[in-house]
Amino acid sequence: MASALHIGIAGLGNVGAGVVKILAQNADLVARRAGRPIVVTAVSARDRNRDRGISLDGIAWVDDAAELATRDDVDVVVELIGGSDGPALTLARRTLGAAKPLVTANKAMLAHHGLELAQMAEAADLPLKYEAAVAGGIPVIKGISEGSAANRITRVYGLMNGTCNYILSRMEAEGLGFAEVLADAQALGFAEADPSFDIDGIDTAHKLSILAALAFGAALDFAGVACTGIRAIESADIAQAAALGFRIKLVGLAEAEDGRLFQRVHPALVPMAHPVATTMGSLNALVVEGDFVGRLFFQGRGAGEGPTASAVVADLVDIARGDVRPPFVMPVADLAALPRADAAGRRGRYYLRLNVADRAGVLAELTAALRDCGVSIESLVQRGTSSSGDAMVVMVTHEAREADVVDSLARMAASPSVVGQPVMMHILDF
Ligand SMILES: NC(=O)c1ccc[n+]([C@@H]2O[C@H](COP(=O)([O-])OP(=O)(O)OC[C@H]3O[C@@H](n4cnc5c(N)ncnc54)[C@H](O)[C@@H]3O)[C@@H](O)[C@H]2O)c1
Ligand SMILES: N[C@@H](CCO)C(=O)O
Ligand code: NA
């Protein structure tokens, strides 16, 4: 067997400790698949004395993670610190600058600096691998870049944030409020350090922008992702959606159409029977549509120690086998800088929820706003009076132009009868 591949790991949190565990527990299996042993020789984290349930015997401890890049006993650096900039980015640049391969699970860093890092890797003919960064253990990066290489991909969408899916699933099953469930997600180890990245959709946007670049051969454009999270969703929305035959999910959607790139993260109503709707708890789900392969569906654990570390180790096996391909399939110079598609002209069905004063004439006001904007209603439900004296009106539109629905909602929101902010959600009809 060839000589061992020596790795240095920066960050020994959920994912880093998981990588050390897999490489210890499945050492023989991994060595046979990699053609050589994969051995951790050096690590760096903030707290040397924390009990992580792993043995660090015989492994060098490095206080400054950036040093891993230049140590002679490290062939490959695994960055598992997190954060788009700061020590993670410094380490990534130094590693590639020192002509060493890099593995990372850091979608925030890739969303912001992926093209720069990919260019560095390509220029030095080095692997830069990041299967763990999108949908954790689900091999969607490999699924797109290798398995779907024959296809023109026109659409990628799905659930890429375990925390949000977990929160929405428990809100539905147990009628719990948002904050109670978030604390549990944090305890389970898959919430981001800053949970607003999860619930405001930013984490999904990071991942979506990476997938879109890969799938469409487009220059990565994180700033072009329109993003709405799940803060405004109430248990009543979940119940109403269910009564209408839908489940609410935080969906990331990217499409390449007519040479334009559409990227959006938003809560959407997904028909109950759709495989995305039946993906519950912290599971992730992704759909990739290719012109020859058709619809591919990926489902599995997108977060957590074992699944995420599993993806990191798979990347290490590729590197041990000598796999050097451009991080975004094509050289960065060949990626198309696609203009952003405008959402205004998109057509679809929409869910609208308004809390209104329960008095005569209110419904007529609402329906007049819709009529004036040319939006037709498929169904309308008014639900009883709350303790505050408000009623909840839920409407589903027929297919309409998005700009017209937005316009009608703004008119309705301006009415003194409407209490608080109306909620508008897209219905996933594909
Ligand atoms: N947890 C998951 O389920 C999951 C899934 C996919 C991707 N990721 C990504 O993996 C990365 C790590 O996530 P995590 O959940 O393991 O985080 P974590 O907070 O559990 O661990 C981070 C580790 O980095 C260490 N660290 C912080 N600053 C450092 C520094 N300057 N030098 C060296 N070490 C430092 C900390 O001590 C800790 O050991 C992040 O980019 C995250 O987004 C996590
Ligand atoms: N915070 C992320 C971790 C995986 O990237 C999630 O909840 O899915
Ligand atoms: Na993955």
CA of 189 from ligand 2 middle (Å) equals: 9
**Is 271 in contact with 136 (CB distance < 8 Å)?**
no
Distance (Å, rounded) from C-alpha 40 to C-alpha 207?
Answer: 28
Residue 149 forms part of a structural domain: yes
Do the domain assignments include residue 338?
no
Q: Is 304 in the pocket of ligand 2 (CB under 6 A)?
A: no
422 CB under 6 A from ligand 2?
A: no
Q: Are 100 and 74 in contact (CB under 8 A)?
A: yes
pLDDT in tens, the chain (430 residues): 789 999 999 999 999 999 999 999 999 999 999 999 999 999 999 999 999 999 999 999 999 999 999 999 999 999 999 999 999 999 999 999 999 999 999 999 999 999 999 999 999 999 999 999 999 999 999 999 999 999 999 999 999 999 999 999 999 999 887 778 888 888 887 887 788 999 999 999 999 999 999 999 999 999 999 999 999 898 889 999 999 999 999 999 999 989 999 999 999 999 999 999 999 999 999 999 999 999 999 999 999 999 999 999 999 999 999 999 999 999 999 999 999 999 999 999 999 999 999 888 999 999 999 999 999 999 999 886 666 678 999 999 999 999 999 999 999 999 999 998 899 999 999 9
Residue 342 lies in a domain: no
C-alpha 138 to ligand 3 mean position (Å): 4
Residue 310 resides in a domain: no
Domain-embedded: residue 324? no
Q: Which of 80, 163, 203, 204 to mutate to test the pocket of ligand 1 (most atoms within 8 A of CB)?
A: 80
Residue 171 located in a structural domain = yes
Alpha carbon of 394 to those of 49, 203, 363, 367: distances in Å? 55, 29, 11, 12
| Residues 118 and 24 both lie in one domain | yes
Boundary (domain end) residue, out of 284, 301, 318: 301
**Each residue's pLDDT tens digit, 130-184:** 999 999 999 999 999 999 999 999 999 999 999 999 999 999 999 887 778 888 8
As a whole number of angstroms, the distance between CA 264 and CA 266 comes to 6
Q: Which ligand is closest to the CA of 81, given by its number?
A: 1
Give the span between the Cα atoms of 371 and 126, in whole angstroms.
Answer: 59
- CA 268, CA 395: separation in Å to the nearest integer? 14
How close is the Cα of 415 to the center of ligand 2, in Å? 39
The pLDDT of residue 121 is 98
Same domain, 161 and 297: yes
Out of 301, 322, 339, a domain closes at 301
Q: Where among 108, 133, 158 does a domain terminate?
A: 133
**Are residues 124 and 156 part of one domain?**
no
Q: Measured from the CA of 105, which atom of ligand 2 is nearest? A: 5
* Domain co-membership, 185 together with 265: yes
Residue 386: what pLDDT? Answer: 61
Claim to verify: residue 128 and residue 166 sit in the same structural domain: no
The residue whose CB lies within 8 Å of the most ligand 2 atoms, and thus the one to mutate among 104, 110, 161, is 161
List beta partners, residue 294. 290
Which CATH number goes with the domain that contains 129? 3.40.50.720
- Domains in the chain: how many in total? 3
Amino acid (1-letter code) at residue 196:
S
Catalytic residues: 207
Give me the pLDDT at residue 186, please: 83
Is 89 within the bounds of a domain? yes
CA distance 328 to 331: 7
Residues 200, 252 share a domain: yes
- 383/47 Cα distance (integer angstroms): 54
Q: Residue 190 C-alpha to ligand 2 middle, in angstroms? A: 5
CB 322 within 8 A of CB 75: no
Same domain, 232 and 354: no
If asked whether residues 117 and 147 sit together in one domain, one would say no
Per the structure, the complete domain to which residue 284 belongs is given by 140-301
So what's the ipTM on this one? 0.99
Q: What is the pLDDT of residue 195?
A: 87
172 and 293 in a single domain? The answer is: yes
Which residue's CA is the nearest one to ligand 1's atom 8?
A: 105
Q: Is 156 in the same domain as 27?
A: no
CATH of residue 402? 3.30.70.260
Q: Which two tokens mark 42? A: 């050096």
Task: Give binding residues for NADPH as ranges.
Answer: 107
Q: Does the beta carbon of 163 lie inside 6 Å of ligand 2?
A: yes
Q: CB within 8 A of 405, min separation 6: which ones?
A: 350, 352, 373, 375, 397, 424
Gap between the Cα atoms of 406 and 343, Å rounded: 11
Q: Specify which residues 59 forms β-bridges with.
A: none
Contact (CB, 8 A) for 135 and 162:
no
Extract the annotated binding site for NADP(+): 10-17
Q: Tell me the CATH number at 206.
A: 3.30.360.10
Annotated binding-site members: 10-17, 107, 192
**Ligand minimally distant from the alpha carbon of residue 203:** 2
The pLDDT score that the predictor gives to residue 210 is: 98
Residues 163 and 113 in one domain: no
Q: Are both 117 and 251 inside the same structural domain?
A: no
* Residue 403 placed within a domain: yes
